[in-house]
Amino acid sequence: MGKNETRAINFLRGVPSEEALSHLIPMVAEGYEKVIRQYGTQVLQYGHFTGFKPLRELIANLHHVDPERIVAGNGGLEVISLFFKSLPLQSNVIVEEVTYDRVLLDAKRYGHNMIGVKLTPEGVDLDQFRDVVKKTEPAAFYGIPFHQNPTGINYTDENRKAVESICQEHNILCVWDVCYQDLRYDGKANGAIDVSEWGPILTSSFTKTISPGTKCGYIIVPKDYVEHLIGIVANTRINPNLPTQAFIADFIQSGWYDDYLGYLRELYRPRMDALNTAFNTHFPGASPVEISGGFFAPLTLGDISVDNESAFVKSAKDAGVGIAPAWNAVAPNFKEELQGKGLFIRLTFPAFQPNDIEWGISKLKETIELFS
């Protein structure tokens, strides 16, 4: 850092680290050239709107399903959006009390009613989940079972399977967003989710495991839902980015993908450790779980109310720490309750060095003390 530079950290955007993307450049350059030469006009011409067939076959093999059940699109958010578009207008959809904010905003575009259920360190509150199912007759449930965004919670197998069982019993489309499944940094591995004919629906993305710029995601739907979803896709866009999907297929087949995931786990582990240490030092008990992977961690600042949150955010920015209220990530029926507990923010950590993470969280604590 130069003499005239002011130290700062922006906890807002969950982007991969520059080191990771720089490490990727030679593989991407070689991979794209390879697939363009191999497939030529096949990936430069219009293609099938469900995506590049070899990639869909690889994904199908990974999840032990028929490739016809897979739609590969331009990022995870696109395929989730297509799913929401496929539901009847103004459907009731169950979500976690806090979740991926873009999902809430996108579902709202289609007029869906998003109903939150409480999260525990094991997953959703099953009693509340059953109660909401009974009272609202939901069309779908959307959840993030691994390194949940933004809480960092990992569902237990028992909790996740109970949710699936309830959904199956009541003909609810159960959607698991598994985009962080492979991004575990504590030396352990997350288990696989079994997909049967009824579901659950799985959706994922290569945004965090490869790069945001490649923009590729996929969704696996039940066999009897394929034709309906494909009709929605066909009327929304013609085909996805086929050169990128060909590159990703080759990246996986070559073994580079697994190697790169190993690299990311090693790169991000000390950053995760720094986050957990800083939380335990400055905000003990504030996080529902010890973060073990993913990209995000939550923080509720009980000393900051709705009345002074704008002033606090400005003071934090002046101190060099970029944060923002995360109310867009809160299910509508939980917003008032959570606002009563203090300012809710979401912090990202993989893009930053450990010492910067520790510094930023300590600065947050110092700023809070000015408001106490």
Name the pTM for this structure. 0.96
Query: Of 77, 58, 60, 76, nearest to 68 (Cα)?
Result: 60
Helix (H, G, I), strand (E, B) or coil at 203: strand
Instruction: Specify the pLDDT at position 6.
Output: 86
pLDDT at 281: 97
Q: In terms of C-beta density within 10 A (0-12 exposed, 13-18 middle, 19 or more buried), how is residue 170 classed?
A: middle
Distance CA 309, CA 39 (A): 54
Among 200, 48, 236, smallest CA distance to 57 is for 48
- Residue pair 94/141 in contact (Cβ under 8 Å)? The answer is yes
Q: Evaluate the omega torsion of the peptide bond into residue 150 and state whether it is cis, within 30 degrees of 0.
A: yes
Q: What is the pLDDT of residue 286?
A: 87
Helix (H) or strand (E) holding 202: strand 201-205
pLDDT of the residue at 4? 47
Q: How far apart are CA 177 and CA 158, in angstroms?
A: 17
- Look at residue 371 in the predicted model and tell me its pLDDT: 85
Cα–Cα separations (whole angstroms), residue 49 to 43, 63, 237: 12, 21, 7
Question: Looking at the chain, how many residues does it have?
Answer: 372
Instruction: List Cβ neighbours of 313 (8 Å cut-off, separation of 6 or more).
Output: 323, 324, 325
Q: Hey, what amino acid is at 111?
A: G
Tell me the domains of the chain and their CATH numbers.
9-23+258-371 (3.90.1150.10), 38-255 (3.40.640.10)
Q: Taking the chain (372 residues) in consecutive chunks of 10 residues, what is each chunk's mean pLDDT?
A: 73 94 97 97 94 98 97 96 97 98 95 98 98 98 98 98 98 98 98 96 97 96 96 93 98 98 98 98 93 97 94 97 97 97 97 98 96 78
Distances (CA, A) of 337 to 101, 158, 269, 272, 303: 18, 28, 33, 29, 15
CA–CA separation, 248 vs 218, rounded Å?
12
Contact 80, 207 (CB under 8 A): no
- pLDDT at 98 (0 to 100): 98
Copy the structure tokens of residue 72: 């590969």
CA dihedral 300, 6, 356, 210 (to 10 degrees): 90
Whole-number Å distance between alpha carbons of 95 and 108: 13
Rounded Cα distance, 132 and 251, in Å? 42
pLDDT of residue 13: 85
